[in-house]
Amino acid sequence: MSSTPSIDASSSISSATETVEKTRLLLTLWAMSCTEGTVKKSELTSKVKQKRKGKNVGVSQSLYDELQAADVIKIYKQNQTPMVSLTDTGKQILIDSLINPDFVFDATVVAARLANGLIALIRELHQGGIPLTSVKQAAIVSYDEFKAIALQVYDQLNKDYNYDNLVPIYRIRRTIGDQVTRSQFNEWMLEMQANDIFQLLGGEVLNVTGDQVEDSILPPVGKLRFFAQRLTAEN
């Protein structure tokens, strides 16, 4: 007598619930960052709380740890207060989750902050602020190759966002992405400065987040460099 393989329905339900919870967390984080700039971890946890079997259920630390380990979110401290920000990888994952036909909100009413956050996400996607694919690109293996790509990225960002020739270094790093390691990016950007191609500048920056600072450059000697300014038209 043959036996029919059993399907663990509880496991499938649990997995679907986790996906919804992660998506709600990321969308709430995105919405809060759109209106408030920086987001306190405690406030995000409070916003995502929901009633389940008569009890308030918040966000587990294990979920935060999982998302941070996957570079979906970044957790950092600002004046000793834990803060959370959504990475570019996190935005892509959020988009992928929202366009998945299997995803639905598990409530009849969607909070205004989530609806407005979704609208803002769609607008940024439409304007080209978020890449449509997460296809891994070929690694950059030489300084000359990096220089050409960095200049192209700089010019495109400067044009698209009207940076007036002061392009945030973190935007260049994130656009180039995992084509180059963090340490190699820093080294080659500093080499471009030494060769009078870029000038890397610091200065006071308003409403900067911890992850933006982290994705800028702190040279071995000197202060944080947040902006890149192109010194030559052709190199």
| pLDDT over 60 (residue 144) | yes
Range of the domain at 87: 9-126
- Answer whether residue 171 is part of any domain: yes
How many independent structural domains does the chain possess? Answer: 2
DSSP per residue over the chain, as a string? ---PPP--HHHHHHHHHHHHHHHHHHHHHHHHHHHHSSEEHHHHHHHH-EEETTEEE---HHHHHHHHHTTSEEEEEETTEEEEEE-HHHHHHHHHHHH-TT---SSSS--HHHHHHHHHHHHHHHTTSS-S--PPPPPP-SHHHHHHHHHHHHHHHHHHHT-TT-EEHHHHHHHHGGGS-HHHHHHHHHHHHHTTSEEEE----TT--HHHHHTSB--SSSS-B-EEEE--S--
- Answer whether residue 118 is part of any domain: yes
Q: How confident is the model at residue 95 (pLDDT cuts 50, 70, 90)?
A: confident
End-to-end CA separation in angstroms for the chain: 76
Average pLDDT over residues 118-140: 59
pTM of structure: 0.47
Of the two residues 124 and 71, the one the predictor is more confident about is 71
Average pLDDT over residues 13-27: 69
DSSP per residue over 56-84, as a string? EE---HHHHHHHHHTTSEEEEEETTEEEE
Q: Are residues 101 and 178 in the same domain?
A: no
| pLDDT over 60 (residue 109) | no
- Answer whether residue 16 is part of any domain: yes
Q: Are residues 122 and 200 in the same domain?
A: no
Q: Are residues 119 and 147 in the same domain?
A: no
- Answer whether residue 136 is part of any domain: no
pLDDT for 91 equals 83
Average pLDDT over residues 91-118: 65
- Answer whether residue 138 is part of any domain: no
- Answer whether residue 90 is part of any domain: yes
Q: Are residues 114 and 170 in the same domain?
A: no
Q: Decide if 198 contacts 228 (C-beta within 8 A).
A: yes
Instruction: Say which CATH number the domain at 50 has.
Output: 1.10.10.10
| pLDDT tens digit sequence for 26-63 | 888 888 887 667 788 888 888 876 544 444 445 678 88
Q: Which of 17-21, 72-76, 168-172, 218-222 has the lowest mean pLDDT?
A: 17-21
Q: Are residues 115 and 158 in the same domain?
A: no
Q: What phi, psi does 89 have (nearest 5°)?
A: -60, -40
**Half-sphere exposure of residue 37: CA atoms within 13 angstroms, side-chain side:** 7
Q: What percent of the chain has pLDDT over 70?
A: 69
- Answer whether residue 174 is part of any domain: yes
Q: Decide if 172 contacts 230 (C-beta within 8 A).
A: no
Looking at every residue in the chain, the average pLDDT score rounds to 76
- Answer whether residue 113 is part of any domain: yes
| pLDDT over 90 (residue 213) | no
pLDDT for 198 equals 96
pLDDT for 89 equals 84
Q: Are residues 195 and 115 in the same domain?
A: no
Q: How confident is the model at residue 10 (pLDDT cuts 50, 70, 90)?
A: very low
pLDDT for 226 equals 93
Cβ count within 10 A of residue 171: 22
Q: What phi, psi does 168 have (nearest 5°)?
A: -60, 130
| pLDDT tens digit sequence for 188-206 | 999 999 999 999 998 777 7
Q: Which of 94, 126, 158 is the last residue of a domain?
A: 126
Q: Are residues 118 and 18 in the same domain?
A: yes
Average pLDDT over residues 126-151: 72
